[in-house]
Amino acid sequence: MNALRLCLGTLTVLPVRPPEAVDRRTAGGAMVLAPLAGLLLGLAAALVALLPLPPLVIGLLAVGVLAVGSRALHLDGLADTADGLGSRRPAAGALEVMRRSDIGPFGVVALVFAIGLQAASAASTLDRPGGAAALVVAVMAARTVLPLLCHRLPAARPEGLGQMVAGTVGTTSALLSLGLAAVLCAGVLLADPAYGVVRCALAAVVGVLAGLGFAAHCVRRFGGLTGDVLGAGVETALTAALLVLAPD
């Protein structure tokens, strides 16, 4: 229960009771349960498709719901990571840039592109039959990146979220998290398979691979995992998954 509370309390705005204790084991368990947080966020974002508004407005609102529902945690990580990469400083200097509370030009550009691509893709997806289910799958797939990144990767700093979760997810737990995500996605698609199971599965796989690939580059660049890199991986995965889902 501590892991579930930490997962929902960290990855969503749900008013859950704080965990009784937080250690690396609990943090790892929270990461394993991340697809469940993705399910709740995805369902909330998909509800905006019921509003009688133009598709692009619906897409922007869906992305807005995801941002508010996650406290913009992952978007903040994306912006900080972009600033660190754009600084072209050595690892220690780049980490110092990422630690600052302000957002630099690279972070702003990254946010504009990510939100723009997500909103446009979500608008097209939600405008088609089964689009709501497809969006939920994409959001869950993006959160699946979290436990996979916490498998064996080292932390870049001796403190912070990266240090708390880096290396906390074992092989069995990572596979269990993937299984949880697969079961949740299958349940959503069985409820409404109109968008196409194959396309949704492809979007999920591409999204996860894109998020892992970008985060792996950041880990090499910064010397390890940080909380910002985790957030950047989630946003990269979501963007890639939605681009695959966007109609031709």
Nearest CA among 15, 149, 162, 138 for reference residue 80: 162
Spatial CB neighbours of 176, under 8 Å, sequence gap ≥ 6: 32
What pLDDT is recorded for position 57? 97
Task: For residue 1, name the pLDDT band (cuts at 50, 70, 90).
Answer: confident
Cβ neighbour number for residue 81 with a 10 Å cutoff: 30
What pLDDT is recorded for position 224? 95
Q: What is the tens place of the pLDDT at every residue in 5-42?
A: 999 999 999 999 988 888 999 999 999 999 999 999 99
pTM over 0.75: yes
Residue 17: left (phi > 0), alpha (psi -120 to 50), or beta?
A: beta
Q: How far is CA 229 from CA 42, 43, 116, 181, 195, in A?
A: 21, 25, 20, 21, 31
| CA separation for the pair 6, 229 (Å, rounded) | 19
200 φ/ψ angles, rounded to the nearest 5 degrees: -65, -40
What pLDDT is recorded for position 20? 85
Name the β-bridge partners of 225.
Answer: 155
Higher pLDDT, 182 or 159: 182
